[in-house]
Copies of this chain bind each other. A is one copy, B any other.
Amino acid sequence: MKMISGGICAAKGFTASGVHCGIRKSQSKKDLALIMSSVPASAAAVYTTNLVKGAPLTVTKKHLENGKAQAVICNSGNANTCNADGIEIAEKMSFLLANELKINASDVVVASTGVIGQPLDVSVIASGIPALCAALSPDGCDDAAEGIMTTDTVKKEVAVEFEIGGKTCRIGGIAKGSGMIHPNMATMLVFITTDAAIAPAMLQKALSGDIADTFNMVSVDGDTSTNDMVTVLANGLAGNDEITCDGDDFAVFMKALNTCTVALCRMIAGDGEGATKLLECKVSGAADIPTAKTVAKSVICSSLLKAAMFGADANWGRVLCAIGYSGANVDVNKVDVSFESKAGKITVCVNGAGVPFSEEEAKQILLEKEIDILIGLNSGSAAATAWGCDLTYDYVKINGDYRT
């Protein structure tokens, strides 16, 4: 298993592109992205749990009923959500793209991200589709990754090479996600491509299993978006025997997928709106996994702790507080807490009570860009990790006037 370049175009048979079509005002911002497989692929997806769902999700869900897809189109700048004609628009996007690419409209995954409840003029997207298709290229990953960005400050892409049954396979992904991100899916869009051969049902099983420990353990601001979606297309061009059941091949595939998704989770959390730090909360010694997950998520979601991390303030009482209100059944008198980064590791709480530590040393550790919050529950052997970021002035600035 090794990290490689190329993102969503690393796998055989995939091309991508991104253009500016005019949804976003700035000409320099790409707002339309495309991913294309040269052959129809197995497809799987997971969607937001928000009751208010973007129209594109409804259309994509219908298109993926047969477990197959060949292309992904995604616009940024407008979520196409809470619009009376949303479904019609999402269907039109699929139809126009399919027409241009000479594929079936039902093989199109359609996604949108941006402001909710703003009218969307589909003719703007229509006008961009010919250029979008013409630009498809094996080097198009960067452009596509840029086309799906909203308040993201960096493009997010990853790719991994691995082997199944003697065949070299690749899996890669791009993601967008910066605000409105919370456990159980958020305005987070992730598109993953692989040339491994895997049956749709197993692909869905792999994805659904993976997100429980990855994307559902990320929180930027506690707001679960209406438009979240993670999709995987697997076109089989690597030539391995198709994975149709559990076993070694499936385990290897799961591991490759997880390597991609964990990397994307870290990128998303680290690029949270206004964030200056990536926070990784690692809980160990829990009685069971749900307890470990509940505690890790609660800590990573605490506004007070997030603000303290911004200020490089080792205010561990806020960690204890967040554990206490998490709803998990924890013996708070057994809890240990440490902070760790490149600059070192410091233990601040043992058995639920503070221990003397050097504030100066703690400050140096917390001034780093990546901070681990280590929590030992000393009540079992289950563990979990959650990812988040600090709460900063810029989060408020970005969200105080996002629409203008």
A residues apposed to B, CB below 8 Å: 49-53, 79, 81-84, 115-119, 179-180, 182, 221-226, 301-304, 307-308, 310-311, 313, 315-318, 320-325, 330, 332, 349, 352-354, 391-393, 395-404
A83 with B354, Cβ < 8 A, contacts A304-B179, A315-B403, A399-B311 known: yes
Best-surrounded residue of A302, A320, A349 (most CB of chain B within 10 A): A320
A238 and B21 CA atoms in complex are apart in Å by: 74
Contacts of A50 in B (CB 8 A): 321, 324-325
Q: Name the residue on B nearest A115 (C-beta).
A: B317
* A119 and B303 within 8 A (CB): no
* B320 and A52 within 8 A (CB): yes
* B301 and A222 within 8 A (CB): yes
Contacts of A349 in B (CB 8 A): 82, 117
Contacts of A307 in B (CB 8 A): 395-396, 398-400
Q: 11 A–B contact pairs at CB < 8 A?
A: A51-B330, A82-B354, A117-B320, A118-B354, A222-B302, A223-B303, A223-B318, A224-B321, A226-B320, A308-B401, A313-B400
- Given A82-B352, A223-B303, A315-B402, output 18 extra A-B contacts at Cβ < 8 Å: A50-B325, A82-B349, A82-B353, A84-B353, A115-B317, A116-B315, A116-B320, A118-B317, A119-B354, A179-B304, A180-B321, A303-B395, A307-B395, A307-B398, A307-B400, A311-B399, A311-B400, A313-B403
Kindly provide the distance from the CB of A318 to the nearest chain B CB, expressed in whole angstroms. Answer: 7
* A401 and B311 within 8 A (CB): yes
Contacts of A180 in B (CB 8 A): 304, 321
* B396 and A392 within 8 A (CB): yes
Q: Name the residue on B nearest A354 (C-beta).
A: B117
Kindly provide the distance from the CB of A394 to the nearest chain B CB, expressed in whole angstroms. Answer: 9
A83 CB contact (under 8 Å) in B81, B303, B353: B353
Q: Name the residue on B nearest A307 (C-beta).
A: B399
Best-surrounded residue of A51, A221, A310, A323 (most CB of chain B within 10 A): A51
Contacts of A308 in B (CB 8 A): 399-402
A224 with B325, Cβ < 8 A, contacts A82-B320, A320-B116, A399-B303 known: yes
* B393 and A317 within 8 A (CB): no
A403 and B315 CA atoms in complex are apart in Å by: 7
